[in-house]
Amino acid sequence: MTDAIFEIDSRSPVMIQGITGRMGRRHAAHMRAYGTNIVGGTSARPDEAALLDMQVFRTCREVVSATGAWASVAMVPPMEVLAAASEAIDAGVRLVVTVAEGVPVHDALRLKAKARAERAVWLGASTPGMALPGVAKLGFLPDVALQAGSWALLTKSGTLSYEVGYRMKARGLGQSIWIGVGGDVVKGVRFADLVAPLARHAPTQGVILVGEVGGTEEEQFADMVRASALKKPVLALLAGRESKEGVSMGHAGAMTDGTMGTLRSKIDSLRAAGAEVFESIEALIDRAAELSDTSGQRHAPLSVRGA
């Protein structure tokens, strides 16, 4: 179900919903400058299209008909995400990325069900997006942290993941793909959903997972790794090491449920699946560098420690 994420390339036609808004204009330009094939978008004010040198229509169906767009980035407010993403899916869009914070949980539940029923991929509710470094990006992952390489970077936290990506690049490491799943309690794509396609993804020689305390996503990822054919090394970093039990903090996706969702539970689950878990970005990057050939040439598949 997540294969559309891995099919994005520099030729893939991408639309921006809300393209004439302030954020839509800004990030459409950034994505296009990076190499993404932004073919147009939707707006309630299509007469402003001349400002963008792009095709702008009132509906997704018109964009799809005119451009063949099969991926969309929705730059709309949180209360409009359900309607915007649903419209895109109804128009035949296979991959929808939503970036707004604060999408209502009931809206997210409805959108998740719709995407599944229509066999579309929804990346969100709130996510910085995804990128194939050096090829294309959908969302607002920072260019300064993007570099082509062999590590798949899977992230919840935006800011922490930017730092990890930046330090990878500084060490000559790079990403085969970067997927921000976001930290919402209800989301379209979870870490566990990405295990099977990553096992098949030839450019990916290892996985770096940036998670956090709360939720059960890391444990579910670990369960899927144990049950899958993923024989690539997994390095993990978990935010929230200093958080105190019983203290409310973070976002809705960072809740614990009994012993699940705790730092200890996540570490134990990941290690039982063969992953290495680190206490700092520096230690994680050092280990990734040890496992990688940083000469700039493609290296042989990395081996899991102890395999």
**Distance in angstroms (rounded) separating the CA atoms of residues 306 and 2:** 30
Name the catalytic one among 27, 106, 251, 299. 251
Provide the CB-side half-sphere exposure for 289 (13 A, CA). 13
Q: What is the dihedral of CA 228, 229, 235, 236, to 10 degrees?
A: -10
Q: Tell me 189's DSSP state.
A: -
Element containing residue 238 per DSSP (H, E): strand 234-239
Q: Which of 121, 12, 147, 122 is nearest to 68 (CA)?
A: 12
**Distance in angstroms (rounded) separating the CA atoms of residues 186 and 197:** 21
Q: Would residue 44 be called left, alpha or beta, if left means φ above 0 and alpha means ψ between -120 and 50 degrees?
A: alpha
Q: Would residue 35 be called left, alpha or beta, if left means φ above 0 and alpha means ψ between -120 and 50 degrees?
A: left
Whether residue 106 lies in the annotated active site? no
**Distance in angstroms (rounded) separating the CA atoms of residues 274 and 269:** 9
Q: Where are the alpha helices (DSSP H) in the chain?
A: 3-7, 22-34, 60-67, 81-90, 105-117, 158-170, 195-200, 217-227, 263-272, 281-291
Active site (catalytic) residues: 251
